[in-house]
Chains A and B, each alone.
Chain A
Amino acid sequence: MAQVIDRNLHIRRIDTYVDPLVPRERAIVTHGHADHARPGHKKVLATPDTIAIMQTRYGPDCAGSFQAVPFGEPITIDEVTITLFPAGHILGSAQVLIEQDGQRVVVTGDYKRLPDTTAQPFELVKCNLLVTEATFGLPVFQHPHPSQEIARLLKSLNDHSDRAHVIGAYALGKAQRVIALLREAGFDAPIYLHGAMIRLCDLYIERGIGLGELRHATEASKAEMAGAVVIAPPSALKDRWSRRLPDPVLAMASGWMSVKQRARQRGVELPLVISDHVDWPELTQTVTETEAETIWVTHGREEALVYHCEQQGLKAEPLNIQGYEDEAEEQ
């Protein structure tokens, strides 16, 4: 099976890489996060949403040419068939199915299975070789339903109505998801954005994701921000930027926030366990449901997942791909 794809995610027969970290002739990009989507490739194949995200972040000419491929539409090149399936991670995020000589390989990219109205929902794809992430690949990671976490945020807003609630969230994907979750929970007040959030929120709105009324945090008065929700990149939480907010409650939306020790280290008072990656139960469920005989683990807590797969009688190995250390969660 190693002839279909190698451990650098190189599809040999068509000389194409999945999520290459250095500029390549041909690349398939699973989603728009910077550790998977790099500028400078000659030809990029991706979903229309991912291409729009890349062009917004890196400029319209960040690749020599783009081939937009909708979900579920197979493309055959030199007897290799490529099909993209939704990964549920962020808007446009895809898993890549590669079929050659009767073998099926799925590269998941980053993915999650809990509901998210800002991303096309994950679809399970059966395969022989599953190339999966394992960002939260330890059994201590059991993510709660996001609506529970939003309920805790709303309670805190209610209990501390004089304090701004600044939520650290990565600018692509997490920010828009938190806003959409708040809207679903009936929160209809304006939400204030750090400058780094604005471009990508506008892009989501353009592509049909409703986010309600958004305002620029820098243009709002201090009084206006009392009891308001502000979304900022995690790096801005402890920065001078958040000091001008009225007595802010520092919150953070991330799968890592289940570990209290970790929340404490970052000075987070209100940890919101909202993750765009599968947790341990979903990860092991996916491994089983794909019916793959071989599992490769690209990045994350590889050791535990490889061990688990071996216990189940599957072949498994870590790829230790450097550079996928998930910016969305680590920042």
Chain B
Amino acid sequence: MKQFAQLLETLALTPSRNRKIEALADYFTKTPDPDRGYALAVMTGALSFAHVKPARLKEVVLAEVDPHLFALSYDYVGDLGETIALIWPHKGGTRALPALTDLIELLNTTPKAKIADLIAELLTSAEINERWALVKLATGGLRIGVSERLAKTALAEMSGKDLKDIEEIWHGIKMPYSELFA
């Protein structure tokens, strides 16, 4: 999760398209299957969780933070995910988060009644950047400036394939897309 959080931050803050592609290609090269495939799914918005919605996350936070102070903070920051990541009492990364694939599995399989506890536990374990990535992952709506097209270009770059070939494979396969990286 650490590497994925780092990648999301780099993508969010790097204005240059070429550097975004470079960062993506580098991540895809260094990260094993199926983590890299899931990362791709997250970034292109292909993933969602039945029991994890922005309103759910907000509930979890409001159990910890005064609602009025949360409202003032949200007004100021302007982005729900980022407000949640910043306002959660920092404990400074108490425990390593699971790998991306395991994390997605956890979010998918935890029963609805237990999801709030899981989210609270993950938020407390995470370092600040991981917490931001975690909230982004859980709520979708990444807004980090990565289009499907950009991701495909990065894949073409790392595999040496044609962009056209990548697009052809893309349509015929399912998450976590191991054929794409082959």
- Residue among B13, B77, B92 making CB contact with A263, cutoff 8 Å: B13
Q: Is A58 an interface residue (CB 8 A)?
A: no
B83 surroundings in chain A (CB, below 8 A): 140
Q: B73–A138 contact, CB under 8 A?
A: yes
Minimum CB distance partner of B78 in chain A: A261
Which B1-31 residues have C-beta < 8 A from chain A? 9, 12-15
Q: A144–B72 contact, CB under 8 A?
A: no
- Residue among A264, A301, A308 making CB contact with B13, cutoff 8 Å: A264
Residue interface bits A54-68, CB-to-B below 8 A is 1, else 0: 000000000000000
CB within 8 Å for A139 and B13 given contacts A303-B72, A308-B69: no
Q: B82–A259 contact, CB under 8 A?
A: yes
- Residue among A258, A269, A304 making CB contact with B69, cutoff 8 Å: A304
Minimum CB distance partner of B76 in chain A: A138
* Distance between Cα atoms of A165 and B78 in the complex (Å): 29
Minimum CB distance partner of A267 in chain B: B15
Q: Is A271 an interface residue (CB 8 A)?
A: yes
B132 surroundings in chain A (CB, below 8 A): 260
* Distance between Cα atoms of A141 and B109 in the complex (Å): 33
Q: Is B128 an interface residue (CB 8 A)?
A: yes
* Distance between Cα atoms of A268 and B76 in the complex (Å): 19
Q: How large is the interface on B (under 10, 10 to 19, 20 to 34, 35 or more residues)?
A: 20 to 34
* Distance between Cα atoms of A163 and B91 in the complex (Å): 33
Residue interface bits A262-282, CB-to-B below 8 A is 1, else 0: 011001111100000000000
Q: A139–B69 contact, CB under 8 A?
A: yes
Q: A259–B65 contact, CB under 8 A?
A: no
Q: B14–A311 contact, CB under 8 A?
A: no
Which A133-171 residues have C-beta < 8 A from chain B? 138-142, 144
Q: Which residues of B contact A (CB under 8 A)?
A: 9, 12-15, 65-66, 68-70, 72-73, 76-79, 82-83, 86-87, 89-90, 92, 128, 132
Q: B77–A259 contact, CB under 8 A?
A: yes
- Residue among B13, B69, B78 making CB contact with A271, cutoff 8 Å: B13
Minimum CB distance partner of A250 in chain B: B15
Q: Is A241 an interface residue (CB 8 A)?
A: no
Q: B68–A307 contact, CB under 8 A?
A: yes
Known: A138-B76, A264-B12. 12 other contacts (CB 8 A): A138-B69, A138-B72, A139-B66, A139-B69, A139-B73, A140-B87, A261-B78, A269-B15, A303-B72, A304-B69, A307-B72, A308-B66
Q: Taking the nearest CB of chain A, how far is it from the CB of B129, in angstroms?
A: 9
Minimum CB distance partner of B8 in chain A: A260
Interface centre among A258, A267, A308 (most CB of B within 10 A): A258
* Distance between Cα atoms of A263 and B87 in the complex (Å): 18
Residue interface bits A284-311, CB-to-B below 8 A is 1, else 0: 0000000000000000010110011001
Interface centre among A138, A142, A260, A304 (most CB of B within 10 A): A260
* Distance between Cα atoms of A139 and B72 in the complex (Å): 9
* Distance between Cα atoms of A269 and B89 in the complex (Å): 25
* Distance between Cα atoms of A304 and B65 in the complex (Å): 13
Which A238-260 residues have C-beta < 8 A from chain B? 258-260
Q: Taking the nearest CB of chain B, how far is it from the CB of A325, in angstroms?
A: 15
Q: A261–B77 contact, CB under 8 A?
A: yes
Q: A268–B69 contact, CB under 8 A?
A: no
Q: B72–A301 contact, CB under 8 A?
A: yes
- Residue among B12, B68, B76, B82 making CB contact with A301, cutoff 8 Å: B76
Q: B72–A304 contact, CB under 8 A?
A: yes
Q: B73–A268 contact, CB under 8 A?
A: no
Q: Taking the nearest CB of chain B, how far is it from the CB of A158, in angstroms?
A: 14
Residue interface bits A38-50, CB-to-B below 8 A is 1, else 0: 0000000000000
- Residue among A259, A267, A268 making CB contact with B86, cutoff 8 Å: A259
* Distance between Cα atoms of A237 and B90 in the complex (Å): 30
* Distance between Cα atoms of A184 and B17 in the complex (Å): 35
B87 surroundings in chain A (CB, below 8 A): 139-140
Q: Taking the nearest CB of chain B, how far is it from the CB of A175, in angstroms?
A: 22
A-B contact pairs, 26 of them (CB 8 A): A138-B73, A139-B65, A139-B66, A139-B69, A140-B73, A140-B77, A140-B83, A142-B86, A142-B90, A144-B90, A259-B82, A260-B132, A261-B77, A261-B78, A261-B82, A267-B15, A268-B13, A269-B13, A269-B15, A271-B13, A303-B72, A307-B68, A307-B72, A308-B66, A308-B69, A311-B66
* Distance between Cα atoms of A263 and B15 in the complex (Å): 11
Q: Taking the nearest CB of chain A, how far is it from the CB of B66, in angstroms?
A: 7
Cβ-closest 10 pairs across A and B:
A140-B86, A140-B73, A142-B90, A140-B87, A304-B72, A138-B73, A269-B13, A139-B87, A139-B69, A304-B69
